[in-house]
Amino acid sequence: GADMMLLCDVPVHELTAGDKQLLQPSRNWPMHQAQCYAHLKCGLRLVAGARYLLLGKNGCGKSTLLRAIHERTLPDWPSHVTTHLVAQNSPLPPGDTPLEAVLGADEREAGLLAEAEMIERAMEEETGDGWGDDEGDDDDDDDDGDDGEPEPDSKTDAMYQRLCDVYEELDALGAEDAGAREGRAMRVLQGMGLTPEQCVDPVHALSGGWKMRVALAAALFVSPRLLLLDEPTNHLDLRGVQWLQRYLANEYRGTVLCVSHDRAFIAAIAQRVVIFQNQALDYFNSTLEDFETAAKEKAAGRERMALNLERKKEDVKKQVKEMTKKASMGSKKGSSHSKAKEADAKQLKQAASRVKKLGRMGLEKTENGTKFNSQRHGIRIGADNNNDGGWDKHGKMTAAPVFVRDDPSLVFEFPACEPLVGVSEELPVVDLRSVSFGCRGAAPVFEDVNLVVRKGCRIGICGKNGAGKSTLVGLLTGALEPTRGEVIRNKNLVVGQYRQGFVSDLEALADDSALSYVSGKHPSLSEQECRAGLGAFGLRGNAVLLPLPTLSGGQRVRVAFAALAATAPHILVLDEPTNHLDIYSIDALVEGLRAFEGGVILISHDQRVIREVVEEVYEVLQKKRIVRRFDGDVGEYLRKFEP
């Protein structure tokens, strides 16, 4: 129907990152092999008005794809489809204040409005100058004036014509007048949590989190045909995430293509999934939850098919063995007459044909459950002739396993910590007693804080951006000293802290690899121990030797975790650990944290992670300058933010 209009359908198989081909190019292979049609699976097809989640593992090229769309480097990108990208480090639109940045983001509209203003001013000057000429300046050459008399007219006509065109274009864009436009920009900025004062304060004074909000506000204000969001929730607090969810679901009319790891946010906004894996784009026309249910069922089905296939292959192998044995038995008997020889030859021929059959044996059905057709689908999945398992030691082709259990690159395994002698479950390992903290001469960030950390705790520290959550963490870890009150800490306590800035710090270390970074931090560990430590967080093989800047954000998170886990901490203090991880890595992190024997103190705005890891919530309330324990369970706390 009309509601299924395609917004775009463009080939993306030329997408590369550096010299790495991200999507499968067509190979010039014999026609019966599926690879010669591979590029047909690499089109980006988006339905107008739909909201898509772009799903894929860390480092598969999701951000590269979004950038290529935004920079219009994809061939055949339709010119009428306007795009706007909000990414981790995308530059802010020009402007000295957040309001100016948002107003300036809509380049075409802003340009036309500026042009209209310029023409109007020029026309005023034109007509004004005419009057000026009449009154004085008699010493000007008379004939100059005469010749030029009709000229202002034609010039003014041209200007007037252009002004009409500009207004028509603005009408077509649905432009409001400047006042309405400013009002809309303010509303979007305030929705993102900025106060009216912040909207007109200098942009450069804002922290990274607030800049991200201004960038988001600018994107929503521009309202492009296709909004590209790369982890938009990363610098938002719970309130900001909820507001963005509502805006995208209820007010924004265009198409959304979004990379996100926040399951609650995805459930609220995405109705379709684009899956970026095995160097191809696949489409699933329903929610992530439905996709995962379908994938689970499909995996179970494939596992059954794989078992059947293995059984069948074993049977055929047995038959081949028996036939060859029979034939060789026949020759051993040494019967000279030709009938026996013929029978042997027949047996061997049959055995050879069975071996051939074995090479072709694969699953009965394709990925999407249709029956295999050798013309259309090439070699069956799971067949040795596909050779996707490589050559074995006898130089024979092998099949890759049809069903791969868990992805080893997803694990997060925290090491067991040394027991703290004489500390029971109930005794505090860190105790904040009537603590206040503030910089000299400034108002205190908070006063009279009492907080007890026990060795198996699961504490969530929540509050608005800039409320002082990181300051509280500094007092807990001992990085900051209180201005009043005392912090009592167990003297053998080892704290492992993950800071938000780790990922960008590691990106700057061009001379280090994951392995050299971890061994540099822990010189007493052998290379084998360092590799094992990195492996516990899913970094294996060649990846540990690559320069840190070439790793994806999610891989650098794992390097930071491996370095921190090597100290065998009793308490993990994690400040927004999920920001660069993909959905399935976060699932693995949650599992790892739940299995960890020590305590966890978590700052996060990811509703699902809070729900699954945290047992007690402490709120940092900026206006009241206090930190208080939330009276109620985690579910009740999260419900406060629902509309």
Whether the CA torsion 172, 177, 180, 184 is positive or negative: it is positive
Could you tell me where the DSSP H helices lie in 460-616?
A: 469-477, 502-507, 514-521, 527-535, 553-565, 583-595, 607-613
Is pLDDT at 148 greater than 80 in this prediction? no
CATH architecture of 428-640: 3-Layer(aba) Sandwich (3.40)
Torsion angle of the four alpha carbons 488, 491, 496, 500, in this order, in degrees rounded to the nearest 10: 40
Q: What pLDDT score does 346 carry?
A: 79
pLDDT computed for residue 394 by the predictor: 61
- Judge contact between 477 and 544, C-beta under 8 A: no
The type of residue at 267 is A
Say whether pLDDT at 171 is over 80: no
d(CA 257, CA 235): 19
Report the percent of the chain where pLDDT is more than 70. 80
Q: Which residue has the higher pLDDT, 128 or 7?
A: 7
**The pLDDT value given to residue 212:** 81
Q: What is the pLDDT of residue 624?
A: 85
236, 25 in Cβ contact below 8 A?
no
What integer pLDDT is reported at residue 52 of this predicted model?
A: 94
pLDDT number for residue 32: 47
- Tell which wins on pLDDT, 267 or 331: 267
pLDDT of residue 599: 93
pLDDT at res. 110: 67
Taking the C-alpha atoms of residue 57 and residue 543, their distance in angstroms, rounded to an integer, is: 15
pTM: 0.69
Which of the given ranges, 50-54, 359-363, 465-469, has the highest pLDDT on average? 50-54
Rounded CA separation 264/122 (Å) = 53
Average pLDDT over residues 255-273: 91
Q: H/E element holding 580?
A: none
Name the pairing type of β-strands 599-603 and 458-462. Answer: parallel
Point out the least confidently predicted range of 7-11, 195-199, 265-269, 386-390: 386-390
Q: Determine phi and psi for 428, rounding to 5 degrees.
A: -70, 145
In percent, how much of the chain has pLDDT > 90? 20
For domain 1-82+225-285, the CATH architecture is 3-Layer(aba) Sandwich (3.40)
SS3 86: strand
In 3-state terms, what secondary structure has residue 635?
Answer: helix
Average per-residue pLDDT in the chain?
80
CB neighbour class for 599 (10 Å; exposed up to 12, middle 13-18, buried from 19): buried
- Residue with the bigger pLDDT between 54 and 95: it is 54
Measure the CA–CA gap between 485 and 474, rounded to whole angstroms.
15
Q: Where in the chain is the domain with CATH 3.40.50.300?
A: 1-82+225-285, 428-640
Measure CA of the first residue to CA of the last residue in the chain; give whole Å.
33
The candidate with the shortest Cα–Cα distance to 256, out of 430, 50, 559, is 50
Burial tier of 22 (Cβ tally within 10 Å: 0-12, 13-18, 19+) = buried
Model confidence pLDDT, tens digit, residues 579-638: 888 888 898 999 999 999 899 999 998 989 999 999 999 999 888 888 899 998 899 998
Cβ contacts of 267 within 8 Å, gap of 6 or more: 287, 288, 289
Residue 150: how many other CB atoms lie within 10 Å = 9
Q: What is the reported pLDDT for 299? A: 73
Q: What is the dihedral of CA 265, 270, 276, 282, to 10 degrees?
A: 160
User: In angstroms, rounded to a whole number, what is the distance separating the alpha carbons of residues 416 and 595?
Assistant: 10
pLDDT at residue 642 above 70?
yes
**Residue 642: alpha-carbon gap to chain centroid:** 24
Q: Are 546 and 512 in contact (CB under 8 A)?
A: no
The residue-averaged pLDDT of 488-512 equals 89
The pLDDT of residue 397? 57
Interval 377-427: pLDDT, tens: 566 666 666 555 555 566 665 555 544 445 666 788 888 888 887 777 778
Region 266-274: what's the mean pLDDT?
91
Q: Is the pLDDT score of 488 beyond 70? A: yes
